[in-house]
Structure 1
């Protein structure tokens, strides 16, 4: 049966596998951001907590988008099993540093998938992934801008820092 299904799709097995790995990564990102939100909540950074709750939701949606793509293409989308994630951080800054590291990892993973698509001449999947490339540009920008704020706002002004971190947008401007 597997061979018959495989004949009805243009998705090659290595593309299916790497996309399922990306689904896992997106859901792991969602879980990591949820843990960051919880840490922020526990430590009195309510605006940053809200920022990370939103990020968690977005990452889950990113994973679901790939999941649906695989299903629509007639191949198996694997429900990811998420392991334990880091739940304790030293400082608010370390939370945002971890967020940037996570976004860079996701960008690198998307780039590897696109390279695989090009090697396999899978232009349909590459086109599908263009949205993710743009999304990663935005996500990395926001994470870097948040870290910039730690250098611009005095460390003892934590309430202001917390508010400003939660308001960073892709344009680099704060929202009033």
Structure 2
């Protein structure tokens, strides 16, 4: 039983983690290619890369996996599915949350960064949509109205232009 650490009686007793702390696949020491053992580190890298707008092909190349292996082991994870749908928003929300926690803990640099991000997002009152301007008068209408309004003021010419009754003479 001492050699049965990995669950197989015929295996030489591999420990579940190697010297660097990485998980050891269950088929270690057997014929064939060893299975991929998913890690939280690779999961975090994939989420960050998706958040930056990278393609699945780029993400797989960055973590050293085939696209199929990456999909099989990581895309079933709910955080990755969320990141694929709303990648930039997920990362921005996580960043704002961390900055807010640090700011509440009293870190002034986090407060400054949080305020800069909030200012950049222009959070505040919702801008009011401008209403459509009424149709303006054309040049002819403006000149006609100006000519009509010219004689209305009592500057001494009114009775001569409009007569005593206010109508234009014949």
TM-score by length of 1: 0.25
Q: Computing the radius of gyration over CA atoms, which structure comes out larger, 1 or 2?
A: 2
Considering Cα pairs closer than 8 Å and 6+ residues apart, tell me whether 1 or 2 has the greater RCO.
1
